[in-house]
Amino acid sequence: MDRDLRPVAAAGVTAVLSCGLLAAAVRSSWLGADVGRGAGFCEAGRDWVVRQPANTFSNVGFVVAGLLIAWHAGARGDLGAAAGSAGPRRRATALACLVVLLGPGSAAMHATQSALGGHLDLLSMYLVAAFAVAYATMRWLRGGTRLLAGVFLGALAGCEVIGSWDVELPVVMHPGNAVFGALLLTATALEVAVMRRGGTSARHGYAYGSFAAILTAFAIWNVSKAWLCDPHSLVQGHAIWHLLCAVSAYLLYRYYASERSPAAAIPSPDPARRR
Protein backbone atom coordinates (compact mmCIF):
# COMPACT_ATOMS: atom_id res chain seq x y z
CA MET A 1 0.00 0.00 0.00
CA ASP A 2 1.33 3.44 -0.94
CA ARG A 3 1.81 5.68 2.07
CA ASP A 4 1.73 9.45 2.08
CA LEU A 5 4.35 10.56 4.59
CA ARG A 6 3.21 14.18 4.69
CA PRO A 7 0.82 13.70 7.67
CA VAL A 8 3.59 12.02 9.68
CA ALA A 9 6.07 14.72 8.67
CA ALA A 10 3.69 17.51 9.73
CA ALA A 11 2.85 15.87 13.05
CA GLY A 12 6.51 15.01 13.65
CA VAL A 13 7.67 18.59 13.02
CA THR A 14 4.88 19.82 15.31
CA ALA A 15 6.02 17.43 18.04
CA VAL A 16 9.71 18.29 17.75
CA LEU A 17 9.20 22.06 17.64
CA SER A 18 6.55 22.25 20.38
CA CYS A 19 8.35 19.88 22.76
CA GLY A 20 11.69 21.55 22.04
CA LEU A 21 10.27 25.00 22.75
CA LEU A 22 8.68 23.72 25.94
CA ALA A 23 11.97 22.23 27.14
CA ALA A 24 13.74 25.53 26.47
CA ALA A 25 10.94 27.49 28.15
CA VAL A 26 11.04 25.31 31.28
CA ARG A 27 14.83 25.46 31.50
CA SER A 28 14.96 29.23 31.00
CA SER A 29 11.79 30.13 32.96
CA TRP A 30 10.20 31.81 29.92
CA LEU A 31 6.70 30.96 31.14
CA GLY A 32 7.05 32.97 34.33
CA ALA A 33 7.07 32.28 38.03
CA ASP A 34 5.52 29.33 39.82
CA VAL A 35 2.13 30.58 41.05
CA GLY A 36 0.77 27.15 41.96
CA ARG A 37 -1.29 26.74 38.77
CA GLY A 38 -2.38 23.11 38.58
CA ALA A 39 -1.70 22.48 42.25
CA GLY A 40 -5.32 21.38 42.66
CA PHE A 41 -4.61 18.14 40.79
CA CYS A 42 -3.03 16.44 43.82
CA GLU A 43 0.63 16.06 42.80
CA ALA A 44 2.93 18.08 45.04
CA GLY A 45 5.22 20.55 43.36
CA ARG A 46 8.83 19.47 43.64
CA ASP A 47 11.79 21.78 43.94
CA TRP A 48 13.01 20.49 40.57
CA VAL A 49 13.18 21.87 37.07
CA VAL A 50 9.90 20.01 36.44
CA ARG A 51 7.47 20.75 39.25
CA GLN A 52 5.03 17.86 38.75
CA PRO A 53 6.89 14.99 37.03
CA ALA A 54 4.05 12.45 36.79
CA ASN A 55 1.49 14.95 35.53
CA THR A 56 4.08 16.40 33.14
CA PHE A 57 5.56 13.33 31.47
CA SER A 58 2.23 11.50 31.15
CA ASN A 59 1.46 14.02 28.42
CA VAL A 60 3.75 12.05 26.13
CA GLY A 61 0.59 10.00 25.52
CA PHE A 62 -0.92 12.85 23.48
CA VAL A 63 2.19 13.14 21.33
CA VAL A 64 2.13 9.40 20.65
CA ALA A 65 -1.61 9.48 19.88
CA GLY A 66 -1.13 12.36 17.43
CA LEU A 67 1.69 10.58 15.64
CA LEU A 68 -0.41 7.39 15.41
CA ILE A 69 -3.26 9.40 13.89
CA ALA A 70 -0.86 10.85 11.33
CA TRP A 71 0.55 7.41 10.50
CA HIS A 72 -2.93 5.99 9.92
CA ALA A 73 -3.96 9.04 7.90
CA GLY A 74 -0.97 8.60 5.62
CA ALA A 75 -2.17 5.14 4.68
CA ARG A 76 -5.89 5.85 4.31
CA GLY A 77 -6.47 9.59 4.33
CA ASP A 78 -10.25 9.18 4.51
CA LEU A 79 -11.17 11.58 7.31
CA GLY A 80 -14.28 13.32 6.11
CA ALA A 81 -14.94 10.95 3.21
CA ALA A 82 -18.58 10.73 4.19
CA ALA A 83 -18.99 14.48 3.85
CA GLY A 84 -17.95 14.28 0.23
CA SER A 85 -15.62 17.26 0.51
CA ALA A 86 -12.05 17.69 -0.61
CA GLY A 87 -9.01 17.52 1.61
CA PRO A 88 -9.68 14.53 3.88
CA ARG A 89 -5.99 13.90 4.41
CA ARG A 90 -5.41 17.55 5.29
CA ARG A 91 -8.14 17.38 7.94
CA ALA A 92 -6.62 14.23 9.38
CA THR A 93 -3.23 15.92 9.45
CA ALA A 94 -4.69 18.96 11.22
CA LEU A 95 -6.29 16.74 13.86
CA ALA A 96 -3.03 14.83 14.35
CA CYS A 97 -1.14 18.08 14.94
CA LEU A 98 -3.78 19.37 17.38
CA VAL A 99 -3.62 16.15 19.41
CA VAL A 100 0.19 16.37 19.46
CA LEU A 101 -0.08 19.92 20.84
CA LEU A 102 -2.18 18.70 23.76
CA GLY A 103 1.01 17.12 25.14
CA PRO A 104 3.33 20.12 25.47
CA GLY A 105 0.35 22.41 26.13
CA SER A 106 -0.70 20.47 29.22
CA ALA A 107 2.89 19.79 30.25
CA ALA A 108 3.59 23.54 30.24
CA MET A 109 1.30 23.99 33.23
CA HIS A 110 2.37 20.92 35.19
CA ALA A 111 6.07 21.46 34.59
CA THR A 112 6.10 25.12 35.67
CA GLN A 113 2.86 25.75 37.60
CA SER A 114 2.95 29.19 35.96
CA ALA A 115 -0.02 31.32 34.91
CA LEU A 116 1.07 31.30 31.24
CA GLY A 117 1.58 27.54 31.42
CA GLY A 118 -2.00 27.23 32.66
CA HIS A 119 -3.26 29.23 29.69
CA LEU A 120 -1.33 27.04 27.24
CA ASP A 121 -2.90 24.00 28.87
CA LEU A 122 -6.41 25.38 28.35
CA LEU A 123 -5.62 26.55 24.80
CA SER A 124 -4.51 23.08 23.76
CA MET A 125 -7.76 21.65 25.18
CA TYR A 126 -9.83 24.28 23.36
CA LEU A 127 -8.17 23.45 20.02
CA VAL A 128 -9.13 19.77 20.12
CA ALA A 129 -12.64 20.34 21.52
CA ALA A 130 -13.31 23.05 18.93
CA PHE A 131 -12.22 20.67 16.16
CA ALA A 132 -14.51 17.92 17.48
CA VAL A 133 -17.59 20.15 17.54
CA ALA A 134 -16.71 21.77 14.19
CA TYR A 135 -16.20 18.44 12.47
CA ALA A 136 -19.46 17.06 13.87
CA THR A 137 -21.29 20.23 12.78
CA MET A 138 -19.84 20.00 9.27
CA ARG A 139 -21.11 16.45 8.85
CA TRP A 140 -24.50 17.13 10.44
CA LEU A 141 -25.12 20.08 8.10
CA ARG A 142 -23.41 18.30 5.17
CA GLY A 143 -21.10 21.26 4.74
CA GLY A 144 -17.48 21.57 3.72
CA THR A 145 -14.16 22.84 4.95
CA ARG A 146 -15.31 26.47 5.15
CA LEU A 147 -18.07 25.52 7.58
CA LEU A 148 -15.62 23.47 9.62
CA ALA A 149 -13.17 26.38 9.77
CA GLY A 150 -15.87 28.90 10.70
CA VAL A 151 -17.29 26.79 13.53
CA PHE A 152 -13.79 25.93 14.72
CA LEU A 153 -12.71 29.58 14.96
CA GLY A 154 -16.01 30.62 16.55
CA ALA A 155 -15.81 27.88 19.16
CA LEU A 156 -12.18 28.73 19.88
CA ALA A 157 -13.03 32.42 20.37
CA GLY A 158 -15.91 31.52 22.67
CA CYS A 159 -13.61 29.32 24.74
CA GLU A 160 -11.12 32.13 25.18
CA VAL A 161 -13.82 34.54 26.34
CA ILE A 162 -15.44 32.14 28.81
CA GLY A 163 -12.07 30.82 29.98
CA SER A 164 -11.03 34.35 30.94
CA TRP A 165 -13.73 34.59 33.61
CA ASP A 166 -12.20 34.61 37.07
CA VAL A 167 -14.63 32.43 38.98
CA GLU A 168 -14.38 29.14 40.87
CA LEU A 169 -16.82 26.43 39.78
CA PRO A 170 -17.84 23.23 41.57
CA VAL A 171 -16.49 19.93 40.21
CA VAL A 172 -14.80 21.37 37.08
CA MET A 173 -12.99 24.12 39.02
CA HIS A 174 -12.39 26.60 36.16
CA PRO A 175 -14.66 28.11 33.45
CA GLY A 176 -12.16 26.90 30.85
CA ASN A 177 -12.73 23.32 31.95
CA ALA A 178 -16.49 23.90 31.84
CA VAL A 179 -16.52 25.20 28.27
CA PHE A 180 -14.17 22.38 27.20
CA GLY A 181 -16.64 19.86 28.61
CA ALA A 182 -19.60 21.68 27.04
CA LEU A 183 -17.98 21.50 23.60
CA LEU A 184 -17.30 17.79 23.97
CA LEU A 185 -20.90 17.17 25.05
CA THR A 186 -22.14 19.18 22.06
CA ALA A 187 -19.90 17.19 19.73
CA THR A 188 -21.19 13.94 21.28
CA ALA A 189 -24.83 14.99 20.78
CA LEU A 190 -24.14 15.88 17.15
CA GLU A 191 -22.35 12.57 16.56
CA VAL A 192 -25.35 10.69 17.96
CA ALA A 193 -27.61 12.70 15.64
CA VAL A 194 -25.42 11.84 12.65
CA MET A 195 -25.51 8.15 13.60
CA ARG A 196 -29.30 8.12 13.99
CA ARG A 197 -29.91 9.97 10.72
CA GLY A 198 -28.11 7.27 8.76
CA GLY A 199 -26.90 7.67 5.21
CA THR A 200 -23.37 6.67 6.16
CA SER A 201 -21.72 3.63 7.65
CA ALA A 202 -19.01 3.71 10.29
CA ARG A 203 -17.43 1.54 12.94
CA HIS A 204 -19.39 2.85 15.90
CA GLY A 205 -17.36 0.78 18.33
CA TYR A 206 -14.56 3.33 18.00
CA ALA A 207 -16.96 6.13 19.01
CA TYR A 208 -18.27 4.15 21.98
CA GLY A 209 -14.70 3.34 23.04
CA SER A 210 -13.70 6.99 22.81
CA PHE A 211 -16.69 8.05 24.91
CA ALA A 212 -16.05 5.33 27.51
CA ALA A 213 -12.38 6.31 27.78
CA ILE A 214 -13.09 9.97 28.44
CA LEU A 215 -15.90 9.20 30.90
CA THR A 216 -13.55 6.92 32.84
CA ALA A 217 -10.86 9.59 32.66
CA PHE A 218 -13.25 12.22 34.02
CA ALA A 219 -14.21 9.95 36.93
CA ILE A 220 -10.54 9.39 37.79
CA TRP A 221 -9.85 13.13 37.34
CA ASN A 222 -12.42 13.87 40.06
CA VAL A 223 -11.72 11.17 42.64
CA SER A 224 -7.95 11.67 42.47
CA LYS A 225 -8.09 15.37 43.35
CA ALA A 226 -8.73 14.61 47.03
CA TRP A 227 -10.21 11.21 47.86
CA LEU A 228 -7.47 9.07 46.25
CA CYS A 229 -4.79 11.74 46.41
CA ASP A 230 -1.19 10.89 47.31
CA PRO A 231 0.74 14.09 46.57
CA HIS A 232 4.22 12.54 46.55
CA SER A 233 3.45 9.41 44.54
CA LEU A 234 4.63 9.07 40.96
CA VAL A 235 1.35 7.28 40.19
CA GLN A 236 -1.12 10.12 39.85
CA GLY A 237 -4.79 9.99 38.91
CA HIS A 238 -4.40 13.12 36.83
CA ALA A 239 -1.61 11.43 34.87
CA ILE A 240 -4.00 8.54 34.17
CA TRP A 241 -6.53 11.16 32.98
CA HIS A 242 -3.97 12.35 30.43
CA LEU A 243 -3.31 8.84 29.14
CA LEU A 244 -7.00 7.93 28.85
CA CYS A 245 -7.77 11.21 27.09
CA ALA A 246 -5.02 10.38 24.57
CA VAL A 247 -6.67 7.00 23.98
CA SER A 248 -10.03 8.73 23.58
CA ALA A 249 -8.65 11.16 20.98
CA TYR A 250 -7.11 8.35 18.94
CA LEU A 251 -10.30 6.26 19.01
CA LEU A 252 -12.35 9.29 17.99
CA TYR A 253 -10.13 9.73 14.94
CA ARG A 254 -10.51 6.05 14.05
CA TYR A 255 -14.27 6.51 14.18
CA TYR A 256 -14.01 9.50 11.83
CA ALA A 257 -11.76 7.58 9.47
CA SER A 258 -14.07 4.56 9.33
CA GLU A 259 -17.02 6.56 8.06
CA ARG A 260 -18.23 5.85 4.51
CA SER A 261 -21.03 7.19 2.39
CA PRO A 262 -22.96 4.66 0.27
CA ALA A 263 -21.33 6.01 -2.89
CA ALA A 264 -17.87 5.38 -1.45
CA ALA A 265 -18.68 1.69 -1.08
CA ILE A 266 -19.64 1.31 -4.76
CA PRO A 267 -16.64 0.67 -7.03
CA SER A 268 -16.36 2.97 -10.00
CA PRO A 269 -17.04 1.33 -13.39
CA ASP A 270 -14.11 -0.14 -15.27
CA PRO A 271 -13.41 2.19 -18.20
CA ALA A 272 -12.43 -0.83 -20.30
CA ARG A 273 -15.99 -2.19 -20.04
CA ARG A 274 -17.44 0.96 -21.55
CA ARG A 275 -15.74 0.36 -24.87
Angle between helices 60-76 and 6-28 (to 10 degrees): 160
pTM above 0.95, yes or no: no
In sequence order, which residues have a C-beta less than 8 Å from that of residue 90 and are 6 or more positions away? Answer: none
Neighbours of 64 (CB within 10 A): 17
- pLDDT at res. 155: 97
Residue 19: its pLDDT value, please? 98
Phi-psi region of 233 (alpha: psi -120 to 50; beta: other; left: phi over 0): beta
pLDDT at 231 over 90: yes
User: Distance between CA atoms of 273 and 139, rounded to whole angstroms?
Assistant: 35
Does pLDDT of 152 surpass 50?
yes
pLDDT at 265: 40
Mean predicted lDDT score pLDDT of the chain: 89
Mean pLDDT, residues 17-26:
97
Kindly tell me if the per-residue pLDDT of 29 is higher than 80.
yes
| pLDDT surpasses 70 at 92 | yes
Is 85 a residue whose pLDDT tops 50? no
Average pLDDT of 181-195?
95
Q: Does domain 6-259 have CATH number 1.20.1070?
A: yes
Write the CB contacts of 274 (distance below 8 Å, at least 6 apart in sequence): none
Where do the domains of the chain lie?
Answer: 6-259
